[in-house]
Amino acid sequence: MWAYLTRRLAQAIAVVFVMAVIVFFGVNVIGNPVDILINPEFTEAEYQEAIRALGLHLPLHEQFFVFLGNALEGDLGISFVWGEPALQLIAQRLPATLELAGAAMFLSIVLGVPLGMYAGSKPHSWVSKSIVSSSILGFSLPTFWVGIMMIMVFAVMLGILPSTGRGDTVLVFGIEWSFLTWNGLTHLAMPAVNLALTNIALVIRLSRAGTREVMLQDYIKFARAKGLSQRRITLVHVLKNTLIPVVTVLGLELGSLIAFSVVTETVFAWPGMGKLIIESIQVLDRPVVVAYLMLTVLLFVSINFLVDVIYSLLDPRVRVSGAR
């Protein structure tokens, strides 16, 4: 077990290191930071001074080690645009993104599981067929366009939901949350549904397949024979066994939700870190871009690491073959 864990951890650290190399050299070699950072009207002396101050006179590999050392201390540079540490800037926007991703996750479960279970338990009814076909549409529809159409229908035509922004927030545990106020909830509704669409479709498919499989099992027949009500069979026996694959896949999808929030946040002007990264790429605010990319890489590697560790705890075969 420990052999597997150390091996897997070393692998995760290696991935983060490789990504740091790619991101740093990519951003600093392909683009020239001097052009963006330094006022073109500087004199030669001021120019050299500025280069020295930014550490750009060092050879590239030394610059990288400076960057790496600072990064380990949690210093990823200062935003050119905002004049604040890049990491702090992202940390301020993180709760908004997490709230959006959390709401989307919640929606995909409470909408996806019942719809999928219904479609799985009555596969031939027309309702089930339309659920399944709309889930195919959920995969094909471009998220950003659906978001725009939602704004058009609910904000412009019907005028029942606000089109953009985050609304009122409440301070809980030092972090601002918008789902605790009515105004905040109305602002959250459309972005959350928009971000959840693909995942709702995914959950519908998973729980439909799961339900169809579970319905044929002997323990369901036995429960019927025992005279349990259909309601109890569905809510207890089928639901429990259907949820296992759904939960596994959704755990892995949390990272994608955060990555995809880039699109939803831009459409709905949701003040999260996805909107920040797009703005930063457009104005070439490199420290923020690097910080965002490094943080997301770290997040993904951690999620994958945790999932692997949990699997190895649940399934001994993984750690045996993995420790070879």
Partner 1 sequence: MNGEPTKTPEPNATPAPASAEPAQPARLAPATVVETPFQRFLSEYCESKIAVVAFFVFLAILFVAVFAPVISPQNPYDLGQIDIMDGRLAPGDTTFDGATTYWLGTDDQGRDMVSAIFYGLRISLAVGALSGVIALMLGAIVGLTAAYFGGKIEAAIMRLVDLQLSFPAILVALMLLAILGKGVDKIIIALVIVQWAYYARTVRASALVEREREYIAAAKALGLSSWRILLRHLLPNVLPPLIVVGTVQIASAIALEATLSFLGIGLPITEPSLGLLIANGFDYMLTGKYWISFFPGIALLVTIVSINLIGDQLRDVLNPRLRR
Q: By the criterion CB under 8 A, which residues form the site for partner 1?
A: 15, 23, 26-27, 30-31, 136-137, 139-145, 148-149, 151-152, 155-157, 163, 255-256, 259-260, 262-263, 266-267, 277-278, 281-282, 289, 293, 296-297, 300, 304
β-bridge partners, 175: 172
In angstroms, what is the minimal distance from the CB of 272 to partner 1?
14
β-bridge partners, 172: 175
Q: Which is nearer to partner 1, 159 or 227 (CB)?
A: 159
Bridge pairing between strands 175-177 and 170-172: antiparallel
The tokens for 239 are 């639901």
Residues 6+ apart with CB under 8 A from 33: 27, 54, 56, 286
Q: Which is nearer to partner 1, 60 or 170 (CB)?
A: 60
Q: Which is nearer to partner 1, 145 or 222 (CB)?
A: 145
Cα separation values, 234 from 14, 52, 54, 241, Å: 46, 69, 64, 10
In angstroms, what is the minimal distance from the CB of 317 to partner 1?
18
In angstroms, what is the minimal distance from the CB of 30 to partner 1?
6
In angstroms, what is the minimal distance from the CB of 235 to partner 1?
33
Virtual torsion, Cα 254, 256, 257, 260, nearest 10 deg: 170
The tokens for 260 are 């995809």
Residues 6+ apart with CB under 8 A from 47: 38
Q: Which residue has the tokens 């946040």?
A: 265
Q: Which is nearer to partner 1, 184 or 255 (CB)?
A: 255
In angstroms, what is the minimal distance from the CB of 194 to partner 1?
13
Q: Which is nearer to partner 1, 137 or 310 (CB)?
A: 137
In angstroms, what is the minimal distance from the CB of 282 to partner 1?
6
Buried b / exposed e over 6-23, threshold 16 CB at 10 Å, is eebeeebeebbeebbeeb
Q: Which is nearer to partner 1, 191 or 255 (CB)?
A: 255
CA 277, CA 272: separation in Å to the nearest integer?
Answer: 9
